[in-house]
């Protein structure tokens, strides 16, 4: 039985190597849901669907929550599971502050075309940002980018070398290799290479930064958020939420979570 299991494991690892390291990263990184979505006629009145075509010709369907009279926009990049429709309560809560909100989708998630990959979700983020600038007429200095968990990698990649209103990172990972180790993937973590390298890219941040992380996060360790914060050279704030995990920040620790976000959004 042990020999059979070991042989199977070797065959699986060999197939991953044969298909390339990027395939390994994508296999473990993304868990999209294309089934549990909300029909357009059932969306709240303040929510609109927008379909954006990326530079590699993939159509992604995101959510836009306009706020009449506001020139400010927050773009939200969610975690690796589910889809943007599952984040509707959070998007509606963010809108209460008076900002326009885009809940960005990724390829392969929800109603969006394609299959997710690291390179692909960066293109998705770029397309949403360009749409905000070119089609919705927002200026960079009035845009906040918020990325949660794996969404932090899109947010950091996109925020590089831009003068934004700010960048918010919730439970951000440092890089793919360290995340793989933290997830118990052992030898497979070596195949991550330089994937999802927030730690290096944060050097290129020119905008104010807010990092929020729970001390009991068992998915993305608290130390990763600390490492990114410590590396950043810009104006920055770190919010440590004692006792919070990865998935309970928004509800179980709502005051500790939402208050600094709203304060950061309202600054300046």
Q: Which residues contact 35 (CB under 8 A, 6 or more apart)?
A: none
Reading the block at residue 83, the tokens are 């889809």
CA distance 236 to 230: 9
CA distance 226 to 141: 26
Active site residue 217: yes
Candidates 62, 112, 149, 152; catalytic one: 149
Angle between helix 21-29 and helix 2-19 axes, rounded to 10 deg:
110
Q: Which residues pair with 62 in a beta bridge?
A: 50
Active site residue 149: yes
From 105, 173, 172, 99, select the one nearest 138 (Cα to Cα). 99
Compute the CA torsion angle 258, 259, 265, 268 (nearest 10 deg): -170
From 213, 204, 125, 205, select the one nearest 169 (Cα to Cα). 213
Candidates 78, 165, 213, 246; catalytic one: 246
CA distance 246 to 255: 16
End-to-end CA distance of the chain: 64
Residue 238 CA: distances (Å) to CA of 128, 160, 203, 245: 27, 19, 17, 16
Active site amino acids: 149, 217, 246
């Amino acid at each position: 039985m042990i020999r059979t299991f070991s042989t199977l494991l070797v065959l699986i690892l060999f197939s991953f190597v044969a298909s390339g390291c990027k395939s390994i990263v994508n296999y473990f990184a993304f868990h999209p849901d294309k089934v549990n979505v909300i029909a357009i006629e059932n969306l709240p009145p303040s929510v609109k669907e927008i379909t954006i075509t990326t530079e590699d010709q993939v159509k992604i369907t995101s959510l836009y929550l306009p706020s009449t009279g506001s020139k400010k926009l927050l773009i939200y990049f969610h975690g690796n599971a589910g889809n943007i429709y599952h984040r509707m309560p959070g998007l509606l809560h963010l809108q209460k502050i008076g900002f326009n909100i885009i809940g960005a989708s990724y390829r392969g998630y929800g109603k969006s075309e394609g299959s997710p990959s690291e390179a692909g979700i960066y293109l998705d983020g770029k397309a949403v940002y360009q749409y905000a600038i070119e089609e919705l007429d927002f200026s960079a200095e009035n845009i906040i980018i918020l990325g949660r968990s794996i969404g932090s990698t899109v947010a950091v990649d996109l925020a590089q070398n831009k003068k934004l209103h700010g960048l918010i990172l919730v439970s951000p990972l440092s890089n793919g290799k360290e995340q793989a180790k933290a997830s118990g993937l052992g030898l497979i973590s070596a195949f991550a290479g330089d994937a999802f390298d927030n730690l290096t890219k944060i050097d290129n941040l020119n905008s104010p930064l807010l990092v929020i992380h729970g001390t009991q996060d068992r998915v993305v360790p608290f130390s990763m958020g600390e490492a990114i914060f410590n590396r950043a050279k810009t104006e920055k704030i770190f919010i440590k939420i004692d006792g919070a995990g990865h998935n309970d920040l928004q509800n179980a620790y709502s005051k500790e979570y939402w208050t600094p976000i709203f304060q950061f959004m309202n600054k300046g």
